[in-house]
């Protein structure tokens, strides 16, 4: 590789710094805000120097928001737990259903196959409001309103198409000969799927699962309409911060930080699988 | 009793008919090389036998049992793919052990057998490596080891030397027969390279136009080809072919009339005449006898290409036709040093005649 010249490298570093600042500064600001009192945050002009406080976090974990003169009971930690249960279960269910389906779409040509795949994808671009009202009526009728199962089911609209379409591409990239070779070795179809196809598509499955988890985590409108506070995730729970007595910026910031942590940790853990270039050198190209 | 029988197999993809009534019988322990240009369905044939595809019609019998309709894992076959098809997430050891694991071989026995095959194929030192850490030659040997490790009754080798460099290909061409003998396997070996086919096959099958046009011993395929395609496929430099006519028991090529011993004095018949380059005899000179003398053709030497012990000469006849000739290096150099003129002679018994339309061999005498 050619060594780039000094001016070019400095220019690149400057650009990277500017881009990083642009995207990371809000996150940094929120992090700082979460350790400030409302008075510190609203000070004019703003100052980066303040006495850090854990009051915001304490209030969230205790579930008692103290605003201007009033106390409000919220279940923010329960909301986070709900978010986690809903997202994780949705992704797991989608993996269970979507990975075999993706394999089928990648490997076999069958009647209406492409139509079915496209219909599943179309769930992603239909506006949720389109289906919400009828769904609400169904859910109340079926007793699914305000249940985890009901929400996990609806969340499949978000997670299943995503996993199906991403993983399908990865299966298509695996040479069918590798699976043929495994079958000829004497292994059953199921073993060749579990021992060859799935491990080889693992980076894709990891990426799709992570993306689906984030999409599910960030969903707002399904849980807002189809559940009560018992099953509602953080996105809906955060509404409680806007009270008649004012907006508690510090507590919102702390809530945001807490709600980002699970996704952040998950992304760090998955990173290993995401960059795994397994199929390199498998087949002479 | 033949070990592998392909009985009138047919297979089409859409409107394309790849095989049409293809048949072959292979004896136990025999190696049959399948040689033909690309696109003639060699790989597909192996895949039909392995069970990756099913034939539209016809029957495949292995050891007397019909296997059509059986899943690949129930056919007890070993196969090496042209693209190796190694399992990228498993070590070379696990790759080779895969057929043994499928057969439930105990761990100690499995280690012993993998070790033995690896030793024969000289990859014992890389068994702990992943496929991406292996060289092409090692990958190819690993794929081969995987195919033979379980003593499969039938080995299908799909151009296993295609993707390795020339030196290794040459080495393996000599080594493979020994390895295959050691495992007493019945082998179908697919290749595009006629030299590989001649080195490895006890018999060679030439696929063309949906079936085998000739299945025979290597020498016979070369000396006695059934069709013009077979004649063209086998031989380097390739055979000289000229459009001519069989009339009065003689053919003419490039203005030279050659009587064929034993040819019936029938009517005129359009044909193609083939002459192997090594059957073109060359005499120095040419000025002395401008007409070439009896049965000779005056030619100019256009180019000489040295090739190991031999040299290939491109000759031009007075009428404009080109001839390829092959002779020893010294002789070629001697001829090229002079005025680059020579007399070319061909003996009638060395001529191969083919029908001009069908390409089928015309046998005389």
pLDDT value at position B47?
94
Indicate whether B292 pLDDT > 80.
no
Angstroms from B78 CA to nearest CA on chain A: 7
Residue-wise burial string across A98-133, b where 16 or more C-beta atoms lie within 10 A, e elsewhere: bbebbbbbbeeeeeeeeeebeebeebeeeebeeebe
Domain boundaries, chain A: 6-73, 76-274
pLDDT value at position A279?
41
pLDDT value at position B266?
66
List chain A residues with CB under 8 Å of B134: 281
- Mapping DSSP to helix (H, G, I), strand (E, B) and coil, where does residue B233 land? helix
Per the CB < 8 Å rule, is B85 touching A175?
A: yes
| Chain A residue at shortest CA distance from B98 | A185
Average pLDDT over residues A211-222: 91
* N-terminal to C-terminal alpha carbon distance within chain B: 34
CATH superfamily of domain region B4-233: P-loop containing nucleotide triphosphate hydrolases (3.40.50.300)
Write the residue in A181, A189, A281 that is nearest to B79 by C-beta: A181
Indicate whether A244 pLDDT > 70.
no
Per the CB < 8 Å rule, is A199 touching B89?
A: yes
DSSP bridge pairs for A242: A247
Q: B180, B78 in Cβ contact below 8 A?
A: no
Contacts of B23 (CB under 8 A, 6+ apart): B6, B7, B8, B9, B211, B212
Write the residue in A178, A184, A199 that is nearest to B50 by C-beta: A184
In angstroms, the CA B267 to CA B70 distance is 54
- Other CB atoms closer than 10 Å to residue A249's CB: what's the count? 19
pLDDT value at position A39?
83
In angstroms, the CA B2 to CA B160 distance is 25
pLDDT band at B285 (very low <50, low <70, confident <90, very high): low
User: Quick check: do B4-233 and B240-362 share a fold?
Assistant: no
Per the CB < 8 Å rule, is B85 touching A180?
A: yes
Per the CB < 8 Å rule, is B136 touching A284?
A: yes
List chain A residues with CB under 8 Å of B52: 180, 183-184
Indicate whether B296 pLDDT > 60.
yes
DSSP per residue over chain A, as a string?
A: -PPPPHHHHHHHHHHHHHHHHHHHHHHHHHHHHTTS-HHHHT-SS--S------HHHHHHHHTEEE-SS-EEE--HHHHHHHHHHHHHHHHHHHHHHHHHHHHHHHH---TTHHHHHHHHHHHHHS-HHHHHHHHHHHHHHHT-TT-HHHHHHHHHHHHHHHHHHHHHHHHHHS-HHHHHHHHHTT--HHHHIIIIIHHHTHHHHHHHHHHHHHHHHH--HHHHHH--TTT--HHHHGGGGEETTEE-HHHHHHHHHHHHHHHHHHHHHHHHHHT--TTTTTS--
Q: B41, B206 in Cβ contact below 8 A?
A: no
Q: What is the pLDDT of residues A94-128, one digit of tens each?
A: 999 999 999 999 998 888 888 888 888 888 787 88
Of A7-16, A70-79, B79-88, B219-228, the one with minimum mean pLDDT is: A70-79
pLDDT value at position B303?
87
Cα–chain-centroid distance for residue B72?
A: 27
pLDDT > 70: percent of chain B: 95
| Chain A residue at shortest CA distance from B135 | A281
pLDDT band at B294 (very low <50, low <70, confident <90, very high): low
**What interface predicted TM-score (ipTM) does this complex get?**
0.84
Q: A182, B87 in Cβ contact below 8 A?
A: yes
Domain boundaries, chain B: 4-233, 240-362
Indicate whether B264 pLDDT > 70.
no
Which comes out higher in pLDDT, residue A37 or B129? B129
Indicate whether A129 pLDDT > 90.
no
Average pLDDT over residues B107-122: 92
Angstroms from B154 CA to nearest CA on chain A: 11
Q: Is A81 on the interface with B (CB under 8 A)?
A: no
In angstroms, the CA A228 to CA A146 distance is 6
Q: What are phi and psi of A53, to 5 degrees?
A: -135, 145
Q: What is the pLDDT of residues B163-199, one digit of tens each?
A: 778 888 888 888 888 888 888 889 999 998 888 899 8
pLDDT value at position A15?
95
In angstroms, the CA B133 to CA B121 distance is 17
DSSP bridge pairs for B269: B246
Q: What is the pLDDT of residues A176-190, one digit of tens each?
A: 999 999 999 999 999
Give the residue from B83, B113, B163 with the most A CB atoms within 10 Å of its CB, the best one to mutate: B83
pLDDT value at position A8?
92
In angstroms, the CA A26 to CA A269 distance is 24
| Chain B residue at shortest CA distance from A183 | B73
Give the residue from A179, A181, A198, A285 with the most B CB atoms within 10 Å of its CB, the best one to mutate: A181
In angstroms, the CA A95 to CA B308 distance is 61
Indicate whether B289 pLDDT > 90.
no
B88 DSSP 8-state letter: T
Over chain B, what is the mean pLDDT?
87
pLDDT value at position A280?
42
pLDDT value at position A285?
37
Angstroms from A207 CA to nearest CA on chain B: 18
Write the residue in B50, B83, B87 that is nearest to A182 by C-beta: B87
Average pLDDT over residues A40-51: 82
Q: B215, B322 in Cβ contact below 8 A?
A: no
List chain B residues with CB under 8 Å of A282: 84-88, 131-132
What does the angle CA A183 – CA A185 – CA A191 come to, to the nearest 5 degrees?
45
Query: Residue holding tokens 């993306």?
Result: A211
pLDDT value at position A231?
87
Give A 167-206 residues with CB within 8 A of chain B.
Answer: 175, 177-178, 180-189, 196, 199-200
Contacts of A257 (CB under 8 A, 6+ apart): A30, A31, A34
Domain A76-274, classified CATH 1.10.1740.10, yes or no? no
Average pLDDT over residues B57-81: 92
Chain B residues contacting A via beta carbons under 8 Å? 47, 50-52, 71-73, 75-79, 81-89, 98-99, 101-103, 130-134, 136, 139, 146, 150, 163
Query: For residue A38, what are the CA distances in angstroms to A74, A240, B51, B100?
Result: 19, 17, 72, 69
pLDDT > 90: percent of chain B: 44
DSSP bridge pairs for B252: B257
Q: B193, B201 in Cβ contact below 8 A?
A: no
Angstroms from A101 CA to nearest CA on chain B: 21
Domain B240-362, classified CATH 3.40.50.2000, yes or no? no
Q: Beta-strand (E) ranges in B119-192?
A: 154-158, 186-191
pLDDT band at A2 (very low <50, low <70, confident <90, very high): low
Q: Is A284 on the interface with B (CB under 8 A)?
A: yes
Per the CB < 8 Å rule, is A186 touching B83?
A: no
* N-terminal to C-terminal alpha carbon distance within chain A: 24
Q: Extract long-range pairs of A190-199: CB within 8 Å, 24+ residues apart.
A: A193/A100, A193/A103, A196/B87, A197/A103, A197/A171, A198/A99, A199/A278, A199/B89
Angstroms from B155 CA to nearest CA on chain A: 11
H or E segment and range at residue B69: none
Average pLDDT over residues B290-305: 74
pLDDT value at position A283?
44
Q: Is A122 on the interface with B (CB under 8 A)?
A: no
Over chain A, what is the mean pLDDT?
86
């Amino acid at each position: 590789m050619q060594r780039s010249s000094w001016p070019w490298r400095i220019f690149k570093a400057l650009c990277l710094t500017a881009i990083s600042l642009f995207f990371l500064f809000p996150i940094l600001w929120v992090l700082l805000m979460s350790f400030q009192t409302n008075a510190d945050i609203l000070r004019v002009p703003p100052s980066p120097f303040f006495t850090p406080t854990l009051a915001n976090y304490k209030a969230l974990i205790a579930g008692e928001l103290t605003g201007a003169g009033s106390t409000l009971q919220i279940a923010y930690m329960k909301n986070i737990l709900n978010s986690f249960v809903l997202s994780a279960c949705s992704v797991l269910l989608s993996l269970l259903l979507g990975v075999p389906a993706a394999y089928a779409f990648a490997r076999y040509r069958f009647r209406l196959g492409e139509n079915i795949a496209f219909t599943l994808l179309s769930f992603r671009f239909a506006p949720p409001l389109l289906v919400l009202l009828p769904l609400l009526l169904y859910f109340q009728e079926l007793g699914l309103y305000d249940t985890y199962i009901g929400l996990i089911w609806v969340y499949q609209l978000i997670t299943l198409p995503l996993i199906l379409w991403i993983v399908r591409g990865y299966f298509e990239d695996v040479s069918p000969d590798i699976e043929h070779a495994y079958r000829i070795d004497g292994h059953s179809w199921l073993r060749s799927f579990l021992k060859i196809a799935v491990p080889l598509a693992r980076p894709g499955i990891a990426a799709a699962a992570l993306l689906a988890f984030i999409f599910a985590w960030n969903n707002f409108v399904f849980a807002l309409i189809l559940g009560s506070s018992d099953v509602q995730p953080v996105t809906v729970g955060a509404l409680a911060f806007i009270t008649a007595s004012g907006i508690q910026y510090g507590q919102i910031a702390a809530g945001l930080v807490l709600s980002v942590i699970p996704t952040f940790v998950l992304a760090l853990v998955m990173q290993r699988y995401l960059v795994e270039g397994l199929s390199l050198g498998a087949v002479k190209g | 009793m033949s070990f592998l029988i392909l009985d009138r197999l047919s297979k089409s993809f859409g409107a394309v008919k790849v095989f049409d009534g293809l048949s072959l019988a292979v004896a136990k322990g025999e190696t049959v090389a399948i040689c033909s240009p690309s696109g003639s369905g060699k790989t597909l044939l192996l895949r039909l036998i392995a069970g990756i595809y099913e034939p539209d019609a016809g029957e495949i019998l292995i050891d007397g049992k019909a296997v059509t309709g059986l899943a690949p894992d129930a056919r007890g076959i070993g196969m090496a793919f042209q693209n190796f098809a190694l399992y990228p997430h498993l070590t070379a050891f696990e790759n080779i052990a895969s057929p043994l694991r499928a057969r439930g071989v105990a761990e100690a026995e499995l280690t012993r057998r993998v070790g033995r095959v690896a030793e024969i194929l000289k990859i014992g030192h890389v068994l702990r490596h992943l496929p991406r850490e292996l060289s092409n030659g090692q990958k190819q040997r690993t794929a081969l080891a995987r195919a033979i490790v379980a003593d499969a009754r039938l080995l299908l080798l799909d151009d296993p030397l295609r993707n390795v460099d020339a030196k290794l290909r040459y080495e393996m061409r000599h080594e493979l027969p020994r390895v295959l003998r050691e495992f007493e396997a019945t082998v179908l070996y697919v290749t595009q390279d006629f030299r590989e086919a001649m080195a490895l096959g006890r018999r060679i099958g030439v696929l063309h136009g949906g079936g085998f046009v000739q299945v025979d011993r290597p020498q016979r395929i070369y000396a006695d080809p059934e069709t013009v395609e077979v004649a063209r496929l086998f031989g380097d430099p390739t055979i000289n072919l000229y459009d001519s006519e069989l009339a009065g028991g003689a053919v003419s090529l490039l203005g030279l009339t050659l009587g064929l011993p034993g040819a019936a004095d029938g009517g005129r018949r359009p044909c193609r005449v083939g002459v192997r380059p090594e059957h073109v005899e060359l005499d120095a000179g040419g000025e002395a006898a401008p007409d070439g003398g009896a049965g000779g053709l005056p030619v100019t030497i256009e180019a000489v290409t040295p090739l190991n012990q031999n040299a290939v000469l491109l000759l031009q006849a007075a009428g404009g036709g080109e001839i390829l000739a092959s002779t020893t290096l010294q002789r070629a150099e001697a001829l090229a040093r002079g005025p680059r003129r020579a007399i070319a002679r061909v003996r009638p018994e060395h001529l191969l005649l083919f029908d001009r339309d069908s390409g089928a061999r015309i046998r005389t005498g």
